[in-house]
A and B are shown apart, each in its own frame.
Chain A
Amino acid sequence: MKHYAMVIDQSRCVGCMACIAACVQENQVPFENFRTRVLEITKGKFPELRTEFRPELCNHCDNAPCVMACPTGASYKREDGIVMIDRDKCVGCKACIAACPYDARYINEEYGFADKCTFCLHRLKKDLEPACVATCIGKSRIFGDLSDRDSEVSRLLAENESRVRLKAAGTKPRVFYIKRYPTKK
């Protein structure tokens, strides 16, 4: 069974938002809603500064609070690890939105269902990378199968120290952050 995951190499992200634009078009995300974003966080005092670019998206948690919170069973976890929403079952109650600690979901106002990143499942089925990964200008986003030990994501996680967002929440994210090339001092 595949075990999909994304690894984000923050040292290669330049905050260019090509990923967001690609996601919006690929998935026809409604105007002013987003399935992914890129944060720019600065610490320090002039001139001793550090700025981090942090792309964020649904973590496809193995222990997904949105799935547990969903009263209708619309939110579910696939065997390959992708957290999906069954649009026919979804009643738009927003319980999942409240439960998600990562602010990854929105309501599609036109149709009234909750929506979020799907790891571009429709593309995976056609053997294509997720849209944000395929266009990432910095090649900062890397996607693949953790059950394959030779995959790039497996290799990157084996070779680098990785982090997940809000580890303490116990959600077990499948989006991992690395800084492959720390700036040499």
Chain B
Amino acid sequence: MAISRRNFLKCAALTAGGAVLAESPFVRAGAKAVIKKDIRYVPSFCEMCFWRCGLIAKVEGDRLVKLDGNPLHPQSRGRLCAKGQSGMGLLYDKDRLKTPLIRTGKRGDGKYRKASWNEAYSYIAEKLTAIRKKYGPESVALFAHGSGGAYMGNFMEAWGSPNHSHPSYAQCLGAREVAFTLTFGQGPASTAERYDMANSRVMALFGSHLGENMHNSHIQDFVDGLGNGTKLIVIDPRYSTAATKSSMWLPIKPGTDIALILAWINIVIKENWYDHDYIAKYAIGFKELKEAVKNYTPEWAAKKTDLPKHQIVEAIRELGRYKPNVLVHPGRHYSWYGDDTQRGRGLAILNALLGTWGRKGGIWLPPKVNLAKLKKKIKYPKPKRDSLAYGDYPFSSAGITTEVRQATISGKPYPIKAWFVIGTNLMKTMPAPEITKKAIDNLDLVVNIDLMPTDMVMMSDVILPAASYLERHDDLAVVTQKNAGIAIRQPVVKPWKDVKPAWLIANELCAKMGLGKYIEYKTLEEHMREKAKLWNIDYDKLSRVGYIPIPDSYHPYITEKNQPKFDTDSKKIELYSSALDDEDMDPVPRYTHHREPPAGSFRLIYGRSPVQTFSRSINNKWLWELKNDNAVWLNADIARQMGIKNGDKISLINEKGGKSNVGRVKVTERIRKDCVYLIHGFGSTSKRMTMAYGRGIDDTQMMTHYATDPICGTNGLRVNFVKLLKES
């Protein structure tokens, strides 16, 4: 039978722009024939999460009826995950922000009045002008996640503030990127993650929630690897989805990963599993490394990690045996214990020793893309004061949200008086939300640009309703999988109500503040066309097919001609980091002990659901019906001791005595006794989120503190303990 996805594409490509009539399969036979409407297929890319998969939208008249993966686009390959499939749940959410709102009551009490865009801009302008006069333009800070962040970043530049910050750095993968950059001169991120999982012979995963964290093509690669016979080793205190696919599960004691990694490095060197030629050719610092790890024996690691010695040894030998076509996958959400850069260094060193960088089944080299830059027609002013968002860390490489928060409270090194927030629910992003509240108390202005009335949106003075990814253009995206290409985001339906795309909001804010000369384009599309022209891409074709590959970009593996470049100080892989040494930091990772939960307490571990993107999607009706609660995983033996049964009502108590919502417990064998686990992002406090409000437990609220990474300033979040209280 010839059912092929290709047919679908043909049909999509033919009809994009044009219109065909289609029968509806849903109507009751015999019921009156439905009026047949125009059906259009419009390609674009998803932003239900930040993987940004290519999609094809089926639009009936004015209404979006179906979203499918674009087979041409390498992040989706014709498939969309549950979130991507449910984009209409966001687009048509009745709780969506529909018009600008200005606060009338106290911050946080939810009282707003409707305002016109001009009123809202005027309100912002008045406050901003006063802040500039009293404190200087640098006293305005930005928190951004997602495509819209770039435009607000431009506004900040025009305005003259260097204080941009990104939760994706300090609360997520920052330390990993820094660690790999210190080692290889580059992080493993691209628009995907550069792990060659589909071709890996053996793969070790550290606490990664692959499969629970649904990043489409990443999971496709992972499963293709399993299909091709990848032997999977999973190190996780929890029998995660990934662990269920493993041939070796190492239920490690939380917080001791570095002990395992150091012992592995030691074994690789002592037992001669490393790739001699590769190390000789590309790396420096082998001798120093060897010396530094020599005392980290498997016996020692077994004690620290609570893992059997034979398992520790077996696992690393398996990796050694099949090197270099193996991978030590560091995971994506990375901010765990505050020594995360050092953990990342350890994993980078392991990958180096096994020779995986640039090898099949390891970490592929980025595609070669040579795209000219558009000439900047404008020059932004140079801020008078340095950014405070980088904090006092030698290797912070992006703005740190919690540094901005701290400065907002302390007024040091200088005051922060206004926050612009776009696409991030800070109350559920930064640990210790009571500190966030305290910071907000110090602000003269809080502006949120978002789609949904999230917890953070409900703390703001002015709410600007943004167009969703299905209603707007965003700048051309350079997709960097093994092959590179250009993808387009374009409106698949007209924006509803009184919402605007972020690029327009940023431009209009500029105009309002008298910064019109910094506006780069009248419409984003004109800018996109200009870029496409410069890059020799047929824009009209792009808008018909959604994705156009860049020829000859594929160079994933090391060959004689395709040599890797390491952008470190020495231009080599740095097993021993002189950059760290220069800053008086450990040039080779060292084991540090982390405090452990006292009796009756559990370490709080959080993770992801494949059908939710943090707290962003929890009000989406079609995802809500798949997952609307986050039961707390509790070890079955402990549950028995505590007299708790599966499904019982419970609450969590944090270390400052703060109590969570009442939720449910999942009694399971799939977790160690010293920790509990729940899915991040639940427990909305916003009454305007009618589906999500009050449902589930908020893990962020349970985080009373965090451990700051001294190297790069990221927030270790797995350092919190909770007690479990049975509720009736």
Residues of chain A within 8 A (CB-CB) of B636 are 46
Q: With A14-B223, A18-B610, A128-B3 given, can you name 11 additional A-B contacts, CB distance below 8 Å? A: A14-B245, A16-B611, A18-B82, A24-B85, A25-B88, A28-B26, A49-B669, A51-B244, A88-B30, A129-B5, A135-B85
- A49 to B670 CA separation, bound complex (whole angstroms): 8
Q: A4 — nearest CB in chain B belongs to which residue?
A: B1
B81 adjacent to A2 (CB under 8 Å): no
Q: A14-B211, A87-B29, A88-B29 are in contact. Are A183 and B80 (CB under 8 A)?
A: no
A139 adjacent to B247 (CB under 8 Å): no
Nearest-Cβ distance from residue B669 to partner chain A, whole angstroms: 5
- B79 on the A face (CB < 8 A): yes
Q: Mark B659-698, 1 if CB is under 8 A from A, else 0.
A: 0000000001111100000000000000000000000000
A25 adjacent to B622 (CB under 8 Å): yes
Interface residues in B391-426 by Cβ distance below 8 A to A read none
A137 adjacent to B81 (CB under 8 Å): yes
Residues of chain A within 8 A (CB-CB) of B216 are 137
- B67 on the A face (CB < 8 A): yes
Q: A16-B81, A138-B219 are in contact. Are A51 and B3 (CB under 8 A)?
A: no
Nearest-Cβ distance from residue B697 to partner chain A, whole angstroms: 20
Nearest-Cβ distance from residue A125 to partner chain B, whole angstroms: 9
A-B contact pairs, 6 of them (CB 8 A): A16-B81, A22-B80, A44-B669, A47-B239, A135-B78, A138-B220
Nearest-Cβ distance from residue B241 to partner chain A, whole angstroms: 6
- A26 on the B face (CB < 8 A): yes
Q: Which 5 A-B pairs have the closest CB atoms?
A: A122-B25, A21-B82, A21-B85, A14-B211, A51-B244
- B66 on the A face (CB < 8 A): yes
Q: Mark B73-95, 1 if CB is under 8 A from A, else 0.
A: 00000111111111010000000
Residues of chain B within 8 A (CB-CB) of A61 are none
Residues of chain B having any CB pair with chain A under 8 Å: 1-5, 7-8, 23, 25-26, 28-30, 65-69, 78-86, 88, 211, 214, 216, 219-220, 222-224, 226-227, 229, 231-232, 239, 241, 244-247, 249, 251, 610-611, 621-623, 625-627, 635-637, 668-672
Q: B2 — nearest CB in chain A belongs to which residue?
A: A127
Residues of chain A having any CB pair with chain B under 8 Å: 2, 11-12, 14-18, 20-22, 24-28, 31-32, 42, 44-47, 49-51, 53, 86-88, 111, 113, 121-122, 124, 126-129, 134-140, 143-145, 148, 151, 180-181, 183-185
A183 adjacent to B68 (CB under 8 Å): no
- A12 to B245 CA separation, bound complex (whole angstroms): 9
Residues of chain B within 8 A (CB-CB) of A129 are 3-5
Residues of chain B within 8 A (CB-CB) of A49 are 239, 244, 249, 669-670
Q: A12-B226, A135-B80 are in contact. Are A185 and B1 (CB under 8 A)?
A: no
Q: A18-B79, A180-B227, A181-B229 are in contact. Are A128 and B7 (CB under 8 A)?
A: yes
Q: B87 — nearest CB in chain A belongs to which residue?
A: A25
B247 adjacent to A137 (CB under 8 Å): no
- A151 to B3 CA separation, bound complex (whole angstroms): 11
A25 adjacent to B621 (CB under 8 Å): no
- A154 to B228 CA separation, bound complex (whole angstroms): 20
A25 adjacent to B85 (CB under 8 Å): yes
Q: Is the interface of A mostly helix, strand, loop or mixed?
A: loop
- How many CB-defined contacts (below 8 Å) exist between A and B? 168
B670 adjacent to A46 (CB under 8 Å): yes
A46 adjacent to B669 (CB under 8 Å): yes
B244 adjacent to A17 (CB under 8 Å): no
Q: A20-B82, A45-B669 are in contact. Are A135 and B229 (CB under 8 A)?
A: no
Nearest-Cβ distance from residue B311 to partner chain A, whole angstroms: 10
Q: A46-B669, A51-B670, A134-B79 are in contact. Are A17 and B1 (CB under 8 A)?
A: no
B622 adjacent to A14 (CB under 8 Å): no
Residues of chain B within 8 A (CB-CB) of A27 are 25-26
- A30 to B106 CA separation, bound complex (whole angstroms): 40
Q: B625 — nearest CB in chain A belongs to which residue?
A: A32
B86 adjacent to A21 (CB under 8 Å): yes
B223 adjacent to A138 (CB under 8 Å): yes
Q: B250 — nearest CB in chain A belongs to which residue?
A: A47
Residues of chain B within 8 A (CB-CB) of A113 are 28
- A145 to B25 CA separation, bound complex (whole angstroms): 22
Nearest-Cβ distance from residue A85 to partner chain B, whole angstroms: 10
Nearest-Cβ distance from residue B205 to partner chain A, whole angstroms: 13
A183 adjacent to B246 (CB under 8 Å): yes
Residues of chain B within 8 A (CB-CB) of A111 are 28
Nearest-Cβ distance from residue A98 to partner chain B, whole angstroms: 23
Q: A18-B85, A128-B3 are in contact. Are A137 and B29 (CB under 8 A)?
A: no
Nearest-Cβ distance from residue B415 to partner chain A, whole angstroms: 46
Residues of chain A within 8 A (CB-CB) of B227 are 11-12, 139, 180-181
- A171 to B68 CA separation, bound complex (whole angstroms): 34
Residues of chain A within 8 A (CB-CB) of B246 are 183
Find A47's partner among B25, B251, B637 (CB 8 Å cutoff). Answer: B251
A16 adjacent to B610 (CB under 8 Å): yes
Residue among B86, B216, B224, B249 facing the most chain A CB atoms (10 A cut-off): B86
Nearest-Cβ distance from residue A145 to partner chain B, whole angstroms: 4
Q: B1 — nearest CB in chain A belongs to which residue?
A: A145
B211 adjacent to A16 (CB under 8 Å): yes
A87 adjacent to B67 (CB under 8 Å): no
Find B611's partner among A17, A26, A50, A140 (CB 8 Å cutoff). Answer: A17
Q: A180 — nearest CB in chain B belongs to which residue?
A: B227
Q: B621 — nearest CB in chain A belongs to which residue?
A: A31
Residues of chain A within 8 A (CB-CB) of B229 are 181, 184
B244 adjacent to A16 (CB under 8 Å): no
Nearest-Cβ distance from residue A52 to partner chain B, whole angstroms: 8
- A160 to B118 CA separation, bound complex (whole angstroms): 66
Q: A138 — nearest CB in chain B belongs to which residue?
A: B223
Q: A11-B226, A46-B670 are in contact. Are A22 and B1 (CB under 8 A)?
A: no
Nearest-Cβ distance from residue B617 to partner chain A, whole angstroms: 12
Q: B228 — nearest CB in chain A belongs to which residue?
A: A181
Residues of chain B within 8 A (CB-CB) of A138 are 219-220, 223
Q: A135 — nearest CB in chain B belongs to which residue?
A: B79
Residues of chain A within 8 A (CB-CB) of B84 are 18
Nearest-Cβ distance from residue A56 to partner chain B, whole angstroms: 15
Nearest-Cβ distance from residue B629 to partner chain A, whole angstroms: 14
Find B223's partner among A2, A127, A128, A139 (CB 8 Å cutoff). Answer: A139
Q: B25 — nearest CB in chain A belongs to which residue?
A: A122
Residues of chain A within 8 A (CB-CB) of B223 are 12, 14, 137-140
- A153 to B222 CA separation, bound complex (whole angstroms): 23
Residue among A127, A151, A184 facing the most chain B CB atoms (10 A cut-off): A127
Residues of chain A within 8 A (CB-CB) of B610 are 14-18
Residues of chain A within 8 A (CB-CB) of B241 are 14-15
- A24 to B625 CA separation, bound complex (whole angstroms): 10
- A63 to B34 CA separation, bound complex (whole angstroms): 35
Nearest-Cβ distance from residue B198 to partner chain A, whole angstroms: 12
A2 adjacent to B1 (CB under 8 Å): yes
Residue among A24, A87, A128, A138 facing the most chain B CB atoms (10 A cut-off): A138
- A42 to B672 CA separation, bound complex (whole angstroms): 15
Nearest-Cβ distance from residue A89 to partner chain B, whole angstroms: 10
- A50 to B66 CA separation, bound complex (whole angstroms): 36
Residues of chain A within 8 A (CB-CB) of B671 are 46
- A121 to B23 CA separation, bound complex (whole angstroms): 13
B3 adjacent to A143 (CB under 8 Å): yes
Nearest-Cβ distance from residue B181 to partner chain A, whole angstroms: 30
A22 adjacent to B3 (CB under 8 Å): no
Find B231's partner among A25, A31, A42, A184 (CB 8 Å cutoff). Answer: A184
Q: B8 — nearest CB in chain A belongs to which residue?
A: A128
Residues of chain B within 8 A (CB-CB) of A24 are 85-86, 622, 625
Residues of chain A within 8 A (CB-CB) of B3 are 124, 127-129, 143-144
- A151 to B671 CA separation, bound complex (whole angstroms): 42
- A46 to B635 CA separation, bound complex (whole angstroms): 9
